[in-house]
Amino acid sequence: MKILIADDDPVSLRMMERTLQKSGYEVITVDNGREAARELAKADGPRLALVDWMMPELDGPGLCREVRSRQLDSYVYIMLLTSKQLIEDVVMGLEAGADDYLTKPCHPAELKARLHTGQRILELEDKLVDAREKMRFQATHDALTSLWDRGGIFTLLKNELSRSAREKSPVSVLLCDIDHFKRINDAHGHPVGDEVLQMVSARLQERVRPHDGVGRYGGEEFLIVLSGCGAANLAKRAEQLRESICDTPFLTKCGPIPVSISIGAITIEQWDQSLPIEPFLKEVDIALYRAKAAGRNRVSYAETMVAV
């Protein structure tokens, strides 16, 4: 684990560096508080900091206050080193945002033990963050396909439309349906049908850009949101998605199964945030119905690209 040591005493700095390197830490050293603040602000900066109270440019309590005032992605555990022993000074340091303190000169064994406590706290925070992110993912994603669920893709669509209104850029929406999916379930069973759903989901996700969105709309239907995609590019993008499914059969545990999708597509231009999105979803649903009625494995576009 990375640790920052901030101390303007070169002898003390070097001694602590050697001690902590022997304990397996990756040590970064600075000799003033302002440089320490810059190191801790980096995206891959240390999450453990050993900070002297008295330093040039920015003292230990000042550094603590600055770090705590920032919205950092991960918590930084800060230990103050001080020769001050009055309870008022200790309280001031802790109230400034320090997590612990040691009185100088400190014993190496005590220093390592206290840092180990800080490391355990950071590991606990990481576990809590991971658990929170898993819960957040489960609340917004489909359990079978790991795509956005219906609520999640609707939220993403609304956010994209709000962004497009601010930036005056288009958003295209595709509603995709697996052709004759019931036949796959009837012929091979629902477990194979689930395999196909997962494989179609993965292939669609691979064919869109990172800032686009793919969600399971329901059953064997998928809603795709193409950010910044106008009518001029929609046909190309939609055909690429369609071909990505039908060009190569899916290798399931029952052998290769040919699969195709039908797509309804629409481009939304100049979005007015006061309008609901349901009429546009109805238009793209009608376009999907036309694609299926015309023989499936094709793309049908809304009769009029919407401009509001």
Query: What sign for the dihedral angle of Cα 235, 238, 241, 243?
Result: negative
Find the length of the chain: 308
Q: Is 220 a catalytic residue?
A: yes
CA atoms within 13 A on the CB side of 192: 19
d(CA 12, CA 53): 13
Distance of alpha carbon 261 from alpha carbon 275, whole angstroms: 30
Distance of CA 8 to the CA centre of its chain: 39
DSSP summary character for residue 298:
S
Rg of the chain taking only CA atoms, in angstroms? 29
Residues 220, 239, 278, 283: which is the catalytic one? 220
Which tokens sit at 296? 């499936």
By annotation, the residues acting in catalysis are 220
